[in-house]
């Protein structure tokens, strides 16, 4: 164990800081219309390192982030994703699911997978190897989910946009990127600047009374 110090903030300072952060992060939106303006790799590295600072079960850090800018790979990923999405929209998804998606304006066409300068494919690792010995990871789903939350916040805070894309099933990512046996695809995140004139659905987020149950 090593000492840990958290700078003190008064309740008033914390209230101001928490409110300012809420007002900032509440403007984050998922977008599907990206600019192809390049984003330096160093920025993507910093964002992924921020994500990798997330807590994890037994500090196993059971994740791998694949940062993809290669046009040929992005094209291959798009083709494979659209194949799965066509099957989803034409049969796998039920009527209720399709009805709920309708206001979002989504469909099987995923141009953003090629337009966005970067794709971050997130993989979860059910186990690792330490000195050639198989070691189990714990709370993998929860840990990787938290890391992805960190990543989305970091992306927005840096001034970029993202989309949480989940073409299901996603095993094609493992094949295309030649990932090892212990990794499974978790999320595919296009990252870049919004396209000029980009739009987002006019949605409402739940208020405090709808998402908080107080036990005082």
Domains of the chain: 31-193 (3.40.109.10)
Q: What angle do CA 93, 146, 103 make, to 5 degrees?
A: 35
Distance CA 56, CA 73 (A): 30
Cβ atoms 186, 120 nearer than 8 A:
no
DSSP 202: -
**pLDDT tens readout for residues 13-51:** 999 999 999 999 999 999 999 999 999 999 999 999 999
Number of CB atoms found within 10 A of residue 165's CB: 21
**pTM, to two decimals:** 0.93
**pLDDT tens readout for residues 86-122:** 877 776 767 787 777 777 777 778 999 999 999 999 9
Per-residue model confidence (pLDDT) at position 91? 66
Distances (CA, A) of 1 to 4, 62, 101, 105: 9, 22, 48, 51
Q: b/e for 76-112, b at 16 or more Cβ within 10 A?
A: bbbebbbebbeebbeeebeeeeeeeeeeeeeeeebeb
């Amino acid at each position: 164990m090593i000492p840990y110090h958290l700078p003190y903030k008064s309740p008033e300072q914390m209230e101001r800081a928490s409110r300012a952060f809420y007002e900032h992060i509440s403007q984050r939106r998922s977008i599907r219309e990206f600019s192809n303006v390049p984003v330096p790799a160093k920025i993507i590295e910093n964002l992924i390192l921020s994500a990798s600072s997330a807590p994890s079960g037994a500090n196993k850090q059971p994740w791998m982030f694949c940062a993809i800018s290669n046009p040929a790979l992005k094209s291959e990923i798009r083709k494979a994703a659209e194949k799965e999405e066509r099957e989803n929209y034409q049969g796998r998804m039920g009527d209720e699911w399709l009805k709920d998606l309708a206001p979002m304006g989504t469909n099987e066409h995923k141009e953003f997978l090629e337009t966005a300068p970067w794709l971050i494919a997130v993989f979860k690792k059910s186990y690792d190897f330490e000195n050639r010995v198989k070691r189990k990871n714990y709370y993998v789903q929860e840990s990787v989910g938290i890391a992805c939350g960190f990543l989305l916040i970091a992306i927005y805070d840096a001034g970029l946009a993202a989309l949480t894309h989940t073409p299901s099933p996603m095993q094609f990512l493992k094949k295309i990127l030649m990932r090892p046996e212990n990794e499974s695809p978790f999320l595919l995140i296009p990252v870049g600047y919004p396209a000029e004139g980009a739009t987002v659905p006019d949605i409402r987020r739940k208020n405090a009374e709808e998402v908080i149950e107080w036990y005082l």
